[in-house]
Structure 1
Amino acid sequence: MSVYIDPSRANFEAFKGLPRDEPIHMLNLLLYRALAEYPAGHENAGKGWSGRRAYEEYGHTSGPIFRRVGGQIMWRGAFQCMVTGPEDRQWHDGFVAQYPNSAAFFEMIKDPDYQLAVVNRTAALVDSRLIRFKPGEVGGGFG
């Protein structure tokens, strides 16, 4: 099973090549470490935090930046079971973050305070997915 924490260069280049002037939804799927893995010397190293606790710290420290660029959470949920997909694949949590445009996302990830905060995300996760969607119509049916 492959694990992913950060985007590959090719995937990030594809993301950067998409339109930057339209709203985007980012589906986040998270699988936490039992015990967070911080770099040696980090202020949170040795605290014995779970991956979930480290991710909560990421949310606390990155939240003001996320909100400043216009981000908001559109949906959040806790994983229950895989209905369609690999039976051995599980996630702990998922959420959809909305950004006014991809420029706002880039502004967030380039922010020096965000770059400090993201260490908590990396320490927290054993695997993740981050998938960009163009928002569509809601309501009605499947089609």
Structure 2
Amino acid sequence: MTNYIDPSRENFEAFKSLPRDRPIHMLNLLLYRDEAAYPEGHEHAGKGWSGRRAYEEYGKTSGPIFTRVGGSIVWRGAFETMVTGPSDRRWHNGFVASYPNSGAFFEMIKDPAYQQAVINRTAALLDSRLVRFEPGEGGSTFG
């Protein structure tokens, strides 16, 4: 099983090539480490934090930046079971983050405070997925 924490260069280039002037939704799927893996010398290294606890720290430290750029969480949930897909694949949590446009996402990830906060995300996660969607309308049918 290949684990993914950060985007590949090719995937990030594809993301950057999409329109930047319209709202986007980002589906996040998270699988936490049993124990957070901080780099040696980091202020949280050696505290014995779980991956979930390190991700909470990421949320606390990145949240103000996310809010400042216009981001919001439009849905979140806790994983229960895989219905369609590999039966050995599981996630701990998932959420959909909304941004006014991809420029807001770029502004967030370039912020020096965010670059410090994201160390907590990297330490927290064993595997993740981040998938961009163009927001659509809700409704009562699947089509």
Tell me what 1:67 maps to: 67
Tell me what 1:112 maps to: 112
* Divergent runs of 4+, >6 A: none
How far is 1:52 from its partner?
0.0
Q: Given the two structures, how large is their TM-score scaled by the length of structure 1?
A: 1.00
Tell me what 2:126 maps to: 126
Supply the distance in 2 between the matched residues of 1:39 and 1:128 (Cα, whole angstroms).
19
Unaligned runs of 5+ in 2: none
Supply the distance in 2 between the matched residues of 1:88 and 1:137 (Cα, whole angstroms).
32
Tell me what 1:83 maps to: 83
Q: Given the two structures, how large is their TM-score scaled by the length of structure 2?
A: 1.00
Tell me what 2:25 maps to: 25
Supply the distance in 1 between the matched residues of 2:139 and 2:116 (Cα, whole angstroms).
39
Supply the distance in 2 between the matched residues of 1:72 and 1:136 (Cα, whole angstroms).
16
The sequence identity of aligned pairs, in percent, is: 79
Equivalent position SS for 2:138: coil
* CA offset digits 1:106-131 (Å, max 9, x no partner): 00000000000000000000000000
Equivalent position SS for 1:121: helix
Supply the distance in 2 between the matched residues of 1:35 and 1:140 (Cα, whole angstroms).
42
Amino acid across the alignment from 2:28? N
Supply the distance in 2 between the matched residues of 1:32 and 1:139 (Cα, whole angstroms).
33
Alpha-carbon RMSD across the aligned residues, in angstroms, is 0.3
Supply the distance in 2 between the matched residues of 1:110 and 1:137 (Cα, whole angstroms).
30
Supply the distance in 2 between the matched residues of 1:141 and 1:59 (Cα, whole angstroms).
34
Count of matched residue positions in the alignment of Structure 1 and Structure 2: 143
How far is 1:54 from its partner?
0.0
How far is 1:140 from its partner?
1.8
* CA offset digits 1:68-107 (Å, max 9, x no partner): 0000000000000000000000000000000000000000
